[in-house]
């Protein structure tokens, strides 16, 4: 059997598959985020490790009869987080997460200091990436910066705890702004611009290769053999791609989780930083991918439900009862609760409801939220298409994939067929388990099959005129807000 561990932002998931790739057991454990100041988002790495140990204990009980058959472990993780370790491998400060936007000024400084940044790293400097976070720490917490012996990404902290080794993979490392994405190696010049060196970086492997083995201590604690392989793993979206079989050029999927991602596989390195499109390494050798990323997606719906005191299921049931006339008159919602990446690269962007009246109710606001997130995904598709990327259909994964209404709305908004899969909500953990299979010398074509289709949502041509008009108003609303903010 093969174990996949997916370290997300709101939870850690673990999943066990058998030799045929069928899911044997799965479980998850919640995580909390600390926001001690505006624009800050942090987590304690020790909480990740405690949650992982809890999951291992739970899955060990569920798979008690066959637990010892686990041959390899794969890792998936939230990208960009900065885990700072001292010379004793102790955590220096809480990890600064991908949706932390405090380092806006440091992004400007890095762009000025490294004019070849876009060419080497394939991306704009954004507060979400790891490099600006380290510049912020150097400026505002010099005592902490002076103690840094190693910088790790979140899932690689788990690997270190599991194996004792400091190793990362190409896909996750491409999100640091320190990787030469075309060469798939650390860039000494970009590290130097952040007053770091490759000595402070983990070793690099491909995501489908063997990275290390479980330490004897952890193997004993987990009831597994020390010969268990730990695969290189990858950033959550690239690993989710493995989970949905997005391994060939043109394969695409949308992930509706805490953030929203439109992911497409490329046969070569194709940076398009002018539109805040991300270009990263895939977890498979000699493959790359592009992503458009919005910082708040399904988390917008969670935020709204929390405010109005209703469950997501209850709200969606109410939204589904709205008429087409109601939806056409609903308020518009800007989903920028954490700033925004693609296409705006604007950490100061804020959320907004626009167009409310006395007749506006909870369901209309709820519809506006999921429509606004869908329009954010449409923004990403637009700039990917403008960069020359062609997409014929998209798989849908993440928590948002559980809503048939949302899937249909995406198909109507993007004018693309949207495909959901059985087990699609476990994309990252399934992809990690599949990487464990690949590290055990199984073939990509045998392992990375697309999961069984659950449903295909075709675009509804009748809705296109109304949604197009609302989308144009949505785009204008952001531009108007940008102008208003400039006056301040």
Looking up residue 197, the CATH number of its domain turns out to be 3.30.420.40
Beta strands at 394-397 and 252-256: parallel, antiparallel or unpaired: parallel
**Residue-number span of the structural domain to which 162 is assigned:** 2-237
Instruction: Give the Cα separation of 115 and 134 in Å (integer).
Output: 18
User: What tokens were used for 449?
Assistant: 């099959």
Residue 110 CB contacts under 8 Å (≥ 6 apart), including other chains: 117, 125, 131, 132, 135, 177, 193, 194
In a domain, 260, yes or no: no
In a domain, 68, yes or no: yes
**Catalytic residue list:** 236
Q: What are the residue ranges of helices labelled H in 37-173?
A: 45-62, 104-113, 117-121, 130-140, 142-146, 154-163, 170-173
Q: What pLDDT is stored for residue 91 in this prediction?
A: 98
Read off the pLDDT of residues 446-474 as tens digits, 9 standing for 90 and up.
Answer: 999 888 899 999 999 999 999 999 999 99
Please give the backbone phi and psi of residue 276, each rounded to the nearest 5 degrees, phi first: 60, 30
> Into how many domains does the chain fold?
1
Q: What are the residue ranges of helices labelled H in 24-103?
A: 45-62
In a domain, 314, yes or no: no
How many CB atoms neighbour CB 3 within 10 A?
A: 29
In a domain, 126, yes or no: yes
In a domain, 82, yes or no: yes
Among 290, 242, 246, residue whose Cα is nearest residue 266: 290
Dihedral over alpha carbons 23, 25, 29, 30 (to 10 degrees): 40
Among 165, 152, 150, residue whose Cα is nearest residue 215: 165
Q: How confident is the model at residue 241 (pLDDT cuts 50, 70, 90)?
A: very high
Instruction: Give the Cα separation of 60 and 468 in Å (integer).
Output: 50
Instruction: Give the Cα separation of 453 and 475 in Å (integer).
Output: 33
Whether residue 291 is annotated as binding a ligand: the answer is: no
Q: What pLDDT is stored for residue 426 in this prediction?
A: 60
Q: How confident is the model at residue 308 (pLDDT cuts 50, 70, 90)?
A: very high
In a domain, 303, yes or no: no
Residue 424 scores a pLDDT above 60: no
Whether residue 80 is annotated as binding a ligand: the answer is: yes
Residue with tokens 């308020």: 331
Read off the pLDDT of residues 72-128 as tens digits, 9 standing for 90 and up.
Answer: 999 999 999 999 999 999 999 999 999 898 999 999 999 999 999 999 999 999 899
Beta strands at 23-30 and 203-205: parallel, antiparallel or unpaired: unpaired
In a domain, 460, yes or no: no
Instruction: Give the Cα separation of 159 and 215 in Å (integer).
Output: 10
In a domain, 58, yes or no: yes
Among 291, 294, 295, residue whose Cα is nearest residue 278: 291
How many CB atoms neighbour CB 160 within 10 A?
A: 22
For the segment 389-398, the average pLDDT, to the nearest whole number, is: 90
For the segment 130-156, the average pLDDT, to the nearest whole number, is: 98
On average, the pLDDT of the chain sits at 94
């Amino acid at each position: 059997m093969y174990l996949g561990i997916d370290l997300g932002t709101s939870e850690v998931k673990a999943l066990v598959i058998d030799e045929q790739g069928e899911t044997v057991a799965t479980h998850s454990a919640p995580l909390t985020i600390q926001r001690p100041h505006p624009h800050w988002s942090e987590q304690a790495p020790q909480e990740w490790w405690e949650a992982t140990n809890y999951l291992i204990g739970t899955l060990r009980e569920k798979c008690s009869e066959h637990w010892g058959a686990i041959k390899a472990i794969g890792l998936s993780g939230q990208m960009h987080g900065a885990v700072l370790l001292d010379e004793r491998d102790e955590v220096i400060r809480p990890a600064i997460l991908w949706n932390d936007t405090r380092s806006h000024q440091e992004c400007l400084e890095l762009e000025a200091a490294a004019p070849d940044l876009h060419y080497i790293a394939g991306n704009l400097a954004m507060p979400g990436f790891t490099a600006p976070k380290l510049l912020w720490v150097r400026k505002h917490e010099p005592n902490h910066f002076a103690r840094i012996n190693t910088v790790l990404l979140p899932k690689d902290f788990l690997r270190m705890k599991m194996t004792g080794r400091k190793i990362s993979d190409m896909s996750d490392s491409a999100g640091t702004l320190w990787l030469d994405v075309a060469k798939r190696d650390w860039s000494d010049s970009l590290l130097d611009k952040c007053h770091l060196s490759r000595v402070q970086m983990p070793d690099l492997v491909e995501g489908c290769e063997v990275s290390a083995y479980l330490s004897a201590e952890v193997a004993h604690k987990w009831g597994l053999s020390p010969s268990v392989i730990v695969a290189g793993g990858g950033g959550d979206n690239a690993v989710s791609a493995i989970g949905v079989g997005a391994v060939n050029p043109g394969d695409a999927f949308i992930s509706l989780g805490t953030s929203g991602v439109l992911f497409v596989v490329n046969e070569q390195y194709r940076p398009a930083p002018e539109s805040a499109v991300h270009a990263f390494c895939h977890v498979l050798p000699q493959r790359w991918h592009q992503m458009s990323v919005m910082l708040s997606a399904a988390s917008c719906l969670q935020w709204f439900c929390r405010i109005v005191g209703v469950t997501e299921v209850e709200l969606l049931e109410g939204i589904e009862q709205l008429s087409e006339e109601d939806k056409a008159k609903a308020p518009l919602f800007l989903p920028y609760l954490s700033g925004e990446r693609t296409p705006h690269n604007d950490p100061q962007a804020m959320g907004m409801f626009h167009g409310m009246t006395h007749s506006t109710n909870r369901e209309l606001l709820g519809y506006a939220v999921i429509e606004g997130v869908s329009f954010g995904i449409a923004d990403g598709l637009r700039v990917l298409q403008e960069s020359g990327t062609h997409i014929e259909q998209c798989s849908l994964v993440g928590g948002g994939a559980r809503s048939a209404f949302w899937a249909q709305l995406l198909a109507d908004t993007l004018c693309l067929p949207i495909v959901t899969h059985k087990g699609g909500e476990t994309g990252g953990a399934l992809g990690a388990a599949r990487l464990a299979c690949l590290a055990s010398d199984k073939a990509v074509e045998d392992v990375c099959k697309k999961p069984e289709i659950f449903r295909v949502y075709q675009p509804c041509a009748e809705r296109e005129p109304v949604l197009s008009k609302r989308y144009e108003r949505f785009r204008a609303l952001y531009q108007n807000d940008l102008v208003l903010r400039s006056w301040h």
